[in-house]
Structure 1
């Protein structure tokens, strides 16, 4: 479950939005009922009566310019809890964010492939005081994780910013980022130059954004900096700047030494490594650590490799 909070000015606009039924495409015909008001708290009636009641309480604190809190809870595709569960989720939200004594309504939307629960909340209480909403985004992230566990909903990762400090370094599975890292690694194995690498990544439906650094955007518009994946622009350029002959020699020696890979006349070492990655994911990181090892900062080249480089250049 993903939670979002919007602070606004107009109860009329927000209540009308969450309760309206949209038109279907160009047919100008109403959709199946997309909005269902499932819960009231400290209020009741149709949309006009609700707007009036919310504004009456708003008048208790006329100096507050933005008295509207709009909470949006998005469930994963295919999840459609019963109304009783959704009401319980809404009540839990009111307690988590501290507005259980304020006016609010809960409305479900069913016009997309994943259900949304909308809550319109009056930030002004009946005592005229404004709801204390500091750290609401952090509270929302914690609340969503609790609801996923309590009601057996699909789990979503919280932003690291909202995790406890002692959890910041815990590895967190993100299959799309892992897939992106794998595609970058395999493209680097196959590429002979940066344009070649860029072309290979585009063939895998990635957009590359290059400036002082590099970032990647996948087919679902997920944007990730290269440095967050361990592949900054500097790292990529260092890998691609290695001479082809020396790189192949190093790969051949290291793979034969560490993995006992036999020479096959019809399969290049880089292709063999790619096949090993795809067929045996457990060796993925170890093989790629060899293949994509960046150059050392001091650019020191071992004496033996320098001799082999000279020998290659003479033939």
Structure 2
């Protein structure tokens, strides 16, 4: 953890309201602002707190320095302290530098690679109205950081900077803009240790397009082409050190012949020339377009002013022709006032149009890479962001998924990207949860929801395959394994202990499901089984009688269980629970020629008027309308088209494509969908394929009693449901 005071170079431009507007602005990112805290103000509203603090600052009329203290607290990459810990750290640091009683607004940001807190502090005490400027506060803040790292078990950071101010500024330039600084160029190209005279040093520097000269009491190194300068002491060679090595300074007397020059090239360990050329081309096009727009706006302004002058001149000439007009002087004044108003209006419109045109700004190299990666998902751009600095080998104990194999650095399709950081970390927002992909691992933020964790598992499966490595807390690992088993996600784990726990949990889950499906008995089933036991002899006799008559060619009607339907063991109360009956042997059909000669009419007659009219197609034991079949087809086409864009949508197939594998097939229930009032059942097969079946009202009623994941058996004659839902008594 480190702290930094952000100085305002010009105190007259300091504004507490603008600072708060910046740190509290979400910038269209859902994940940027995590928490806003207001301290020592009478209002909990940010807008009212700004008004109150600025009013307090105006009460102090003597202070001429900056009245606002902007403090930044930053944590190590991967560190995610709890909200209570962050508030305690903010309070203790402000107390250590004397701002415990001062008004302040603190904002936690999550949109970069490092979690950080911005604190806008009012230096004016709300009661004493005195300005407090802490003395040597950097030393106090560093001591407090060391103490807080020990207290809250945070990662240790370096609080003793050994770099000069110039080197620190150069590092900031390379970190923020991604462009190589002049100091880095000099250190890479020039070797001060190999020279023994000033002329050799001058020759070495001149070949690199540089020149060293006196300025004040020291030395500066200047880039000849751009005119940029830096102190020689910023690269570790002060005037005294060089004079000790080379003698008294002597200026260069030879003409400068540069072989190469300093260029503002991007900092990267990969070849970025093609992408950087694209950036420069786009930057040039934006600059040319802006110049063209500004030129047109200036021409428009000048034309409006010229037209206003011509109108005023014409009015004055007309007024000049009039004689003996007592109001001529007043009219001249009115014409002049109208002219001034027209000129001011033209200038005002020009300023507004210029501000509107300046919305499209030239952005830095790193910001352009971030925008390009987020909009296009180009993996080459992501690779540049992730490899522009040395890789951080620090082990972070964060909740994450990874793999021992190098995955392709690509963006997960269909997942919503909240932002891309300057280190190439892609921040996804799924189900109110944050998932960060840094190319090597998928990190899950604290407070992840169940749906967000499931999405993270599916994204890890997409990125790394079916074998994953888990790291993080034991509670996180347990939740992941339980969710994998519950949702039936086909993944395994590298860690043998975690994989064994997953297998045991999966075996236990399967055993419990088989136990529930085998012992789910309702009250009516128990009653029927009791009645069957009391009428065993009677049913056996009737079953034998029916089998004998079947041999003589008569109709044999029996149940699938072997118990005849005419048995008195079943009453009207349980008639609806009878199994399906079938005719095992066909009999002769009566035709008109079988009628006797004594009958008056021997022809056939239609008897369909006695039947209920039925229209549609029979599907698995139910009559389904043509509209329902078309609705199923439409739903399947829609889901399969979306699966090309969204990675976690499974393949959907028509019920005709289902292979029963003989007489039946066991699937799991995945829910119901309703398209134009047509019920569609979604059934998942063992290979994660969703079968869409339009169902009748009776089967819909049975399926609605099922829980997700219940076992369902499909046969050619119907659908058998095995529900695990408990029956409410």
Normalising by structure 2, we get a TM-score of 0.24
8 Å Cα contact 1:74-1:114 kept in structure 2? no
When residues 65 and 73 of structure 1 are mapped into structure 2, their CA distance, relative to the original with a 3 A threshold, is same
Q: CA deviation at 1:105?
A: 1.6
When residues 229 and 14 of structure 1 are mapped into structure 2, their CA distance, relative to the original with a 3 A threshold, is closer
Show the counterpart of 2:89. 89
CA distance in 2, matches of 1:185, 1:108: 45
2:213 to 201, 211, 222: 211
When residues 64 and 198 of structure 1 are mapped into structure 2, their CA distance, relative to the original with a 3 A threshold, is closer
8 Å Cα contact 1:3-1:141 kept in structure 2? no
Show the counterpart of 2:52. 53
Show the counterpart of 2:17. 12
Show the counterpart of 1:3. 4
CA distance in 2, matches of 1:85, 1:223: 42
1:194 to 188, 193, 201: 201
1:229 is the counterpart of 2:231: no
Map 1:1-315; keep pairs closer than 5 Å: 1-6=2-7, 9-22=14-27, 30-43=28-41, 44-58=43-57, 60-64=59-63, 68-75=67-74, 78=77, 80-82=79-81, 83-135=83-135, 138-151=136-149, 152-158=155-161, 184=191, 187-188=194-195, 193-194=200-201, 197-198=204-205, 210-212=212-214, 214-215=219-220, 225-226=232-233, 229=236, 232=239, 233-235=242-244, 237-238=246-247
SS in 1 for 2:195: helix
CA distance in 2, matches of 1:120, 1:17: 11
Show the counterpart of 1:248. none
SS in 1 for 2:132: coil
SS in 2 for 1:188: coil
* More moved, 141-150 vs 151-160: 151-160
8 Å Cα contact 2:70-2:120 kept in structure 1? yes
Q: CA deviation at 1:98?
A: 0.9
Q: CA deviation at 1:124?
A: 2.3
SS in 2 for 1:133: coil
SS in 1 for 2:106: strand
When residues 143 and 128 of structure 1 are mapped into structure 2, their CA distance, relative to the original with a 3 A threshold, is same
8 Å Cα contact 1:57-1:128 kept in structure 2? no
Q: CA deviation at 1:208?
A: 5.1
CA distance in 1, matches of 2:143, 2:109: 21
RMSD: 4.5
When residues 230 and 59 of structure 1 are mapped into structure 2, their CA distance, relative to the original with a 3 A threshold, is closer
When residues 208 and 78 of structure 1 are mapped into structure 2, their CA distance, relative to the original with a 3 A threshold, is farther
When residues 11 and 195 of structure 1 are mapped into structure 2, their CA distance, relative to the original with a 3 A threshold, is closer
When residues 224 and 98 of structure 1 are mapped into structure 2, their CA distance, relative to the original with a 3 A threshold, is same
Residue-by-residue CA offset, 1:32-56 (whole Å, 9 max, x unaligned): 4323334321124332122123234
CA distance in 2, matches of 1:57, 1:117: 24
Runs of 5+ consecutive residues of structure 1 not aligned to the other structure:
23-29, 162-175, 242-315
Residue-by-residue CA offset, 1:267-297 (whole Å, 9 max, x unaligned): xxxxxxxxxxxxxxxxxxxxxxxxxxxxxxx
CA distance in 1, matches of 2:144, 2:79: 18
CA distance in 2, matches of 1:143, 1:105: 19
Q: CA deviation at 1:100?
A: 0.4
Larger RCO, structure (CA 8 Å, separation 6 or more): 1
When residues 141 and 51 of structure 1 are mapped into structure 2, their CA distance, relative to the original with a 3 A threshold, is same
When residues 65 and 47 of structure 1 are mapped into structure 2, their CA distance, relative to the original with a 3 A threshold, is farther
Show the counterpart of 1:27. none
Show the counterpart of 1:282. none
Larger radius of gyration: 2
* More moved, 55-64 vs 34-43: 55-64
8 Å Cα contact 1:42-1:103 kept in structure 2? yes
8 Å Cα contact 2:105-2:119 kept in structure 1? yes
8 Å Cα contact 1:4-1:71 kept in structure 2? yes
Show the counterpart of 1:250. none
CA distance in 2, matches of 1:19, 1:227: 36
SS in 1 for 2:51: helix
When residues 192 and 61 of structure 1 are mapped into structure 2, their CA distance, relative to the original with a 3 A threshold, is closer
Residue-by-residue CA offset, 1:170-223 (whole Å, 9 max, x unaligned): xxxxxx99xx59x7355438x9933553378x5xxxx85511154569xxx996
Residue-by-residue CA offset, 1:208-257 (whole Å, 9 max, x unaligned): 5511154569xxx9966349835644345459x9xxxxxxxxxxxxxxxx
SS in 1 for 2:191: helix
CA distance in 2, matches of 1:192, 1:63: 56
Q: CA deviation at 1:19?
A: 0.8
8 Å Cα contact 2:96-2:144 kept in structure 1? no
Q: CA deviation at 1:79?
A: 5.5
SS in 2 for 1:146: helix
8 Å Cα contact 1:40-1:105 kept in structure 2? yes
8 Å Cα contact 1:105-1:120 kept in structure 2? yes
